[in-house]
A and B are shown apart, each in its own frame.
Chain A
Amino acid sequence: MADIAFLLLIFFLVTTTLEVDAGLPRRLPVASSDKPSPIPERNLLQVLVKEQGAIMVRGKQVTADDLPGLVMDFLTNPTNSDDRPAMIALTPERCAMELTAARSETGIALWRQRAVAVAVLGAYREPPSGVQIIVTTANGTRYADFIAVQDALEQGITALRDSVSLTAFGKRFAELNEVDPTGMLRIQVVRRAVPHAIGEGIWADR
Chain B
Amino acid sequence: MSRFKEKKSGTPAISTASLPDIIFMLLFFFMVTTVMRETDLLVKITLPEASETTKLEDKALVDYLYIGPPMSKELGTEPVLQLNDQFAKLNEIDPWVSAGNERRDEVLRPKITRSLKVDKETAMKIVTDVKQELRKSNALKINYSTAQGR
- Binding stretch for chain A, among B4-12, B98-106, B125-133: B125-133
Residues of A within 8 A of B18 (CB): 1, 5
Whether a CB of chain B sits under 8 angstroms from the CB of A20 is yes
Query: Using an 8 Å CB-CB cutoff, how does the interface string of B45-78 with A read, 1 for contact, 0 for none?
Result: 0001111111110010010000000000000000
Are A143 and B128 also in contact (CB < 8 A) when A12-B32, A31-B135 are? Answer: no
Please tell me the size bucket of the interface on B: 35 or more
Whether a CB of chain B sits under 8 angstroms from the CB of A113 is no
Residues of A within 8 A of B51 (CB): 151, 155
Whether a CB of chain B sits under 8 angstroms from the CB of A101 is no
CA distance A146 to B146 in the complex (A): 12
CA distance A59 to B124 in the complex (A): 20
- Binding stretch for chain B, among A21-29, A120-128, A183-191: A21-29
Closest CB in chain A relative to B142 CB, distance in Å: 5
Residues of A within 8 A of B52 (CB): 24, 151, 154-155, 158
Interface residues of A (CB under 8 A from B): 1-2, 5, 8-9, 12-13, 16, 18-31, 49, 137-144, 146-148, 150-151, 154-155, 158, 200, 202, 205-206
Interface residues of B (CB under 8 A from A): 17-18, 21-22, 24-25, 28-29, 32-33, 35, 48-56, 59, 62, 113, 115, 118-125, 127-128, 131-132, 134-136, 138-146, 148, 150
Q: Rank and list the top 9 A-B pairs by shortest CB-CB distance, nearest first.
A: A144-B120, A154-B52, A151-B50, A139-B125, A22-B53, A147-B48, A23-B145, A137-B124, A1-B18
